[in-house]
Homo-oligomer: A and B are copies of this chain.
Amino acid sequence: MTEPSELLYLRIARQLERQISDEVLHVGERLPSVRMLSRQQGISVSTALQAYAHLESKGLIMARPQSGYYVRFSPGMAPERPALSKPATSPINRNVDALIFEVFSNLTDPRITRFSLSVPAPELLPVARLKKAMMQALNDTPGNGTCYEEVVGNLELRRQIARWAMHWNGKLSEEDLITTSGAMNAIAYGLMALTKPGDLVAVESPCYFGTLRLLHSLGLKVLELPTHPDEGISIPDLKKALDIHPVKLCLFVTNFGNPLGHCMSDEAKRELVQLLAERNLPLIEDDLYGDVWFGKRRPMSCKSFDEAGLVLWCGSISKTLAPGFRVGWIAPGKFFDSVKRLKMYHSITSASPEQAAIGSFLATGNYDRHLRGLREVLQANCLQYIRCIREYFPEGTRVTHPQGGFILWVELDQRLDTHLLYQAAIRQRISIAPGAMFSMQPRYQNCMRLSYGMPWTPALEKALQKLGTLAKAMLLSQTVE
């Protein structure tokens, strides 16, 4: 696997980015000309051009016709991050279905800018290669894909997921895995295998609304834990909560959580696994976004440290390859048999063609290649969004700085209600996910989730600008009232 860091133009770009970050180069300042950069660094003119193009795609510099490149934005100037969340220390279980339906029933018009959807746009996906893999799969599988798979799922797919797990120190074999219809389906089986109605489940706060609704529909109670936008749940807080509340299991997104974008450190993951093992508590680990890391390597998962078999590790290719294929999986540790039975009872097997196609896609190395490109686009998008938020949103707006995934969590002035902002924005064909959806407690009314999982365009910048202008206007009208 070649790291993109080995490419020359990326190395140069990174140096320049650091200088911009450290304010050696100031916003508004002119950068050396392409020719001068090439001479200074002993690189070709085309490499110098590539380095500048890369920084431009991240929104850090801009070209002015006939004049050269200028610093546009410094990551050091980014808005502040939100603080550690402080949900109520006891379970509160409000139903937010109405709000969620309002937001997601309103998306059929293709002209809407869908900041509310945390799904990659098809333009970012290797659709042609996946189509080829599907056709191959139809030719190669028994009965052209019309036959039932094994209950546990396609063998080659499980083998490839196990192999890929080496990226995060996962010691998995194909025998540890069961395929599912996406990661939510994996989580659902995990929950059904381990809980009964009335049980208490600990989650992050804010927490993905789909997870909250699944928990609610299974009759489970939810304990929301303080969560840091960089590091995820706080282990001391979790310890305290476990001492007080009869928590039956934990359900955490350990890498690039939704919506906070937090990523637990390896050390925190190890501690978490140890803490839960001491108390014999299972962890459903939703590692849906783990493959979209921006750093040097894929972060580990809690499963990397799981000796007791208490971690049910869940993943999918919905965020990286093909949401519509519904290919997900679970490594349920010592709960393997229960989960396998549930899958069999509820749906017998998964759809055969997609599993075979994704299995062979992973086997070719295409996945690794695709991820590298996807991560670059997403990281650049992330910086563009942060720049736009700084430029167009009301002063004092806070935003997360995720190191992976494709969502931002934006915290606006306390007086702003993002449900009202949603309603104003949708009239201008801009859809956002209001913060109130992400808790069962009456919280996060001044927050919203924005997805940057689509190609960066001037239209997108304009939409962010509109959104910021709306927020400013709402704030102003409230001040006047």
Contacts and interface: CB of A to CB of B under 8 A. Distances in A.
Contacts of A142: 122
B119 A143 contact: no
A63 interface: no
B184 A146 contact: no
A188 B322 contact: no
Contact of A125 (B146, B323, B349, B351): B146
A353 interface: yes
B134 A324 contact: no
* Most chain B beta carbons < 10 A, residue from A131, A141, A323, A351: A351
A326 B341 contact: no
> Which applies to chain A's interface (DSSP): helix, strand, loop or mixed?
helix
Report the interface size class on chain A: 35 or more
Contact of A325 (B122, B130, B145): B145
A281 interface: no
B127 A144 contact: yes
A359 to B, nearest CB: 14
A97 interface: yes
A143 B213 CA distance: 28
Contact of A322 (B145, B184, B192, B346): B145
Instruction: State the number of copies, please.
Output: 2
Contacts of A480: none
Interface in A184-203: 184-185, 188, 192, 196-197
Interface in A107-126: 119, 122, 125
A144 B119 contact: no
Interface in A324-357: 324-326, 341-342, 344-354
* Most chain B beta carbons < 10 A, residue from A146, A185, A192: A146
Contacts of A299: none
A147 interface: yes
B122 A181 contact: no
A182 interface: yes
Given A131-B138, A134-B353, A346 B146 contact: no
A189 to B, nearest CB: 9
Contacts of A122: 142-144, 146-147
Interface in A158-217: 181-182, 184-185, 188, 192, 196-197, 210, 213-214, 217
A351 B181 contact: yes
Contact of A353 (B196, B321, B354): B354
Contact of A210 (B342, B348, B353): B348
Given A219-B196, A324-B147, A324-B149, A184 B127 contact: no
